[in-house]
Structure 1
């Protein structure tokens, strides 16, 4: 009952923010509005929380929506995306090295905290592993949470008002169509297969990646070509945005503003690297500059894919690159740290 009350309160606060942003015709309104309002409430000590099961269900819906951005033509495009994968690998490595140096020299973080804070993704894993290795867990978590918050608050606004992307929220009917019932049935099948298959295969963020991959497979195979109704997408935006803001419960801005300031600088550095790569290599890869910037930006898989979806920017490419990015970070960053530790121990002997 306590969890229900906290979740209801959180979604009410987030819903008010989302509705106001929607009325103001802001991009990604239900996510941005709910995130801003819930963050303010959490920082002021309002007891907010989002039920974990509800968040997973809504994230699965988002995965289906992202998967529906794939089509039978995606196979042909994947050959060109190999260059994007190389850019992704170089971008992640370069970003992590530069941000690590920044956190050590400017932020004065200890080596372990700086290392796991510098990883451009994988909030939960970086926090858990970093703290277990002796890093300062709260700082690691706050750096990653504020990085996502900063990106989601700024990138959609820059692309909408600075670059002129109008968005595609109206591309799908609010409540769907009676003619899409058969296709919706296939999407439900893909959701169940992806959700439980992802869990059994131990995919990172299985509740998102499983439905995304299964739906993408159905779409590329030509089994279905429909998308979930936008009302479900708005609901997923509301839940995910509110959950981001609720992460800041128990913190006070005056106590964390230095860490957020450091996160802002490091996030800007990472996005600049993405923008430089996009400017020089977009034409050779065959993806828009905006698409590559979103694909290389160090936001969360769900959050940055939602931005691409809301603005209609190379959704399949952005989603694919973020799935690969998160998988690589979760798999390789802790492994690389363990290898470095073993090397140091040998040298000490």
Structure 2
């Protein structure tokens, strides 16, 4: 099969998985269904290929959608976030101090690989920096990919089963004909210009952050109050889930099982630390538990933003904390790497 047909097959399988999850009324059906269907197809040896070339466009759509939640009423509370951002820095240090040794001692990784597998940074950033420093890239990819998968699943189930939220963004319908042509043009402009501008400014997760920032500015200014239609958002989630699921193409089951056990352990440890910090934020800063958990959970920026949108949490708060987390880890990674490298030579 040609690469194009393999891409199409992956998307068909992802869409089928999303539809099945939707009909079963499972949390985050379009993304999680596509993710698990893509993962099953990859591990089952089907000739699928992730459509990575269109991923930036998909992420840009989600960025525009989340940026639409940056309303003046939400941003009136931004000054109160300084305390939670300061606590976030402490949280990052605690997570790194626990998870990096976990991968070294329990996973038997070398210190360099353990460092980039355990640091709570973005997937792409940790892969790029880790590869440049001589880490085992495959182990880093598995660690962070599974961290995102496990976090999404645990968080979605927690909010659906324990908290009783309808974690299903497709319930908030925006019809195609409900979006005016001027709003549609503005949102497309945010997606295109934001993606290119984010890359030019070298922002982390540029194709997501650039459109989100432009969309947020547009909605804060009052020039638009539109949002991408539900059909487009659901399609974007299927594409994103399919790409995530197909990341496991070529991975042996034995290798995946070992990485999954390690990822489950590290994710549970991180969520336990997050739980402690959530209670502190709730007790001393009056921040809602759900909102705090989504801001600290070790999932991807895009994915946690989608969950926040689904349960009507403050998307701006959640997104800002994940952006700061990624930026802090990127800045800390080179500074702390020399210490890790010295440990690795012992």
Query: What are the equivalent positions in structure 2 for 1:19-34 lying under 5 Å apart?
Result: 19-34=19-34
1:247–1:264: structure 2 CA closer, same or farther, 3 Å change rule? same
Runs of 5+ consecutive residues of structure 2 not aligned to the other structure = none
Residue 81 of structure 1: how far off its partner (Å):
0.9
Is structure 2 residue 15 aligned with structure 1 residue 3? no
- The range that moved more, 311-320 or 89-98, is 311-320
Is 1:269 aligned to residue 265 of structure 2? no
After the TM superposition, which of the residue ranges 285-294 and 109-118 deviates more from structure 2?
A: 285-294
Contact 1:74–1:220, Cα closer than 8 Å, also in 2: no
CA contact (8 A) 1:60 1:191 kept: yes
Q: 1:51 to 1:182 in 2, by over 3 A?
A: same
Note the C-alpha offset of 1:41.
1.0
- Write the distance in 2 (CA, Å) between the matches of 1:14 and 1:111: 36
* Secondary structure of residue in 2 paired with 1:81: helix
Q: Distance in 1 between matches of 2:301 and 2:40?
A: 23
Query: SS of the residue aligned with 2:222?
Result: coil
Q: Distance in 2 between matches of 1:315 and 1:294?
A: 9
Structure 2 matches for 1:163-174, cutoff 5 A? 163-167=163-167, 168-174=169-175
Cα distance, 1:229–1:284 mapped onto 2, change above 3 Å: farther
Residue number in structure 1 paired with 2:178: 177
TM-score calculated relative to the size of structure 2: 0.93
2:193 maps to what in 1? 193
The answer to whether the 8 A contact 2:125-2:204 is kept is no
Structure 1: 5+ residue stretches without partners: none
Distance 1:255 1:206 in 2: 31
* Aligned residue number for residue 237 of structure 1: 237
Superposition deviation, residue 166 in structure 1 = 1.9
- For residues 214-253 of structure 1, what are the alpha-carbon distances to aligned partners after superposition, in whole Å with 9 as ceiling and x for unaligned? 1111111211112111111101110110111100000122
Look up the match of 1:292: 292
Matched, 1:128 2:124: no
Separation in 2, partners of 1:223, 1:286: 32
Deviation at 1:182, TM superposition (A): 2.6
Alignment CA distance shift 1:51-1:334 (3 Å): farther
Alignment coverage as a number of residue pairs? 345
- The 5 A counterparts of 1:1-349 are 2-167=2-167, 168-177=169-178, 180-338=180-338, 341=341
Deviations 1:27-60 (A, max 9, x none): 2100010001110111112232222331110100
* RMSD over equivalenced CA pairs, Å: 2.1
Deviations 1:240-272 (A, max 9, x none): 101111000001222331221011101111111
Give how far 1:344 is off. Answer: 7.9
